[in-house]
Amino acid sequence: MPRTRSLIPWLLAAVAVLIAYGSLYPFNFKPDAIEGGVLKALEQLSWARADRSDRIANVLLYLPLGFCLYLWLTTRLRRRIALLAAPLLGALFSLCIEIAQVYVSVRVPSLKDLALNTLGASIGALGGVAWRAVAGLMHIPAREEAPHRDPGAALVLVVWLLARFAPFLLEVDLGKLKTALQPLFAPQWDAGSVLADLVRWLVIGHAIGALVRRTRRLEALLIVIAAVLTGQLLIATQTLVVNELLALLLLLPALVIMHRMTIQAQRAFLLVALTAVLVIEELAPFELTSRATSFDLWPFRAWIEAGGLSAIDWSILGRLFLLTALLWLLREAGAAINLAIALAVGTALAIEIAQLWLPHRSGSITAPVLVLGIGLLLRAIERKRARRAVVISPPARIR
């Protein structure tokens, strides 16, 4: 059977482009800056000192490069050779970038950067070894099977990406890149937030499993992770979050554990865990007041009165993701579509009502209305698929 094409080369190319962009911005090249070609440019590299943030950034940016290089090389070389080749290729790529920086007036090419980049690529390659080792504990069938392509899973993934890419404003410059990395220079983390992010990513992994072939699930998950992290580097107001990065480190071991559970147990666990995250995040710290605030019965009115699109509270998309995932998991657990919609909308409404007694909070019909809209969309898609299946299926032959 022919081998299916891997998605890793595309991920590797995207990582390389992102590194090149961040390293060579603003691209004001001056070809005549150095006379004598590449050898003279090499002489311009020095052991210039960098501050702590730049040192950390140089290591972090090359981690995904080494990771992707190792995964790509293991499809062509023995793993031991790939482990040696990945850092070497990372160092070669870094050297090319440093030479190119000689011709960019605002950049300072440095051998120290080259060493730190190589260190980052080496650590990334070791991460690839760990990924392969843990992924090997999951039984991935050699035979391809047609994916189910659950429309509910597709809706979950779409709402998740909308929530992660809001407010949809790109800041493509070096300053944004450094700002996005800033939280990693003095990391602070919270165990509860790490577990909540882990639950979200487990749901995303489960949704991807309902959309792609089993042989492609881990690669597709890597693509989604890379897209989300890239968004945090390039989208306005977003930064890398230490809690989520720690959750991603726990994701593959958690997927291995879930892989050994029955599908019914997986759905039940995700349903309970997701409900707990939803309730805790929306109602914590559970300190109720004696007097309720107002409840807005008109959806989107607060945004319209405050100034339209510029006043949208994009955090509602994060809540909408949890509620959409709840709707889908209820459907997966066997609930009828109308019952699943009623339970999801009822949960959203109950949370909004409970928030009336929370300090500095108020209730709104907006989230329940959005969940209802998604539920009705899912019901329409399912009914259309059912009608199409009836039309396509051949009639029984009468003997």
> Cα(86)–Cα(73) distance, rounded to whole angstroms?
7
Amino acid at 399: R
Above pLDDT 90, what percent of the chain? Answer: 42
pLDDT higher at 31 or 57: 57
Lowest mean pLDDT among 11-25, 68-82, 103-117, 364-378: 103-117
* Predicted pLDDT at 388: 81
| Cross-strand bridge partners of residue 46 | 110
Amino acid at 235: I
pTM, two decimals, is 0.85
Q: Is the pLDDT of residue 369 over 70?
A: yes
Amino acid at 198: L
Classify the C-alpha dihedral 350-353-355-357 as positive or negative. negative
Average pLDDT over residues 120-127: 94
Q: Is the pLDDT of residue 346 over 90?
A: yes
pLDDT higher at 217 or 138: 217
Q: Which of 399, 307, 323 is nearest to 367 (CA)?
A: 323
User: Which residue stretches of the chain are H helix?
Assistant: 8-24, 37-43, 52-73, 79-101, 111-135, 151-165, 174-181, 191-209, 217-234, 242-259, 263-283, 301-306, 316-332, 337-354, 366-392
Give the other-Cβ count within 10 Å of 189's Cβ: 14
Give the max Cα distance, the chain: 88
pLDDT per residue as tens digits for the range 221-274 = 999 998 999 888 888 888 889 999 999 999 999 999 998 889 899 999 999 999
* Predicted pLDDT at 309: 58
* Predicted pLDDT at 399: 41
Q: Is the pLDDT of residue 186 over 90?
A: no
The band of 19, judged by pLDDT with boundaries at 50, 70 and 90, is: confident
User: Tokens for 209?
Assistant: 């499993």
Q: Is the pLDDT of residue 311 over 80?
A: no
Average pLDDT over residues 1-28: 76
* Predicted pLDDT at 34: 62
Average pLDDT over residues 349-360: 90
Average pLDDT over residues 178-201: 89
Q: Is the pLDDT of residue 81 over 50?
A: yes
Average pLDDT over residues 160-177: 85
Q: Is the pLDDT of residue 217 over 80?
A: yes
Q: Which of 308, 319, 307, 311 is nearest to 366 (CA)?
A: 319
Q: What does the DSSP 8-state code read for residue 78?
A: -
**Crossing angle for the helix pair 52-73 and 8-24, to the nearest 10 degrees:** 160
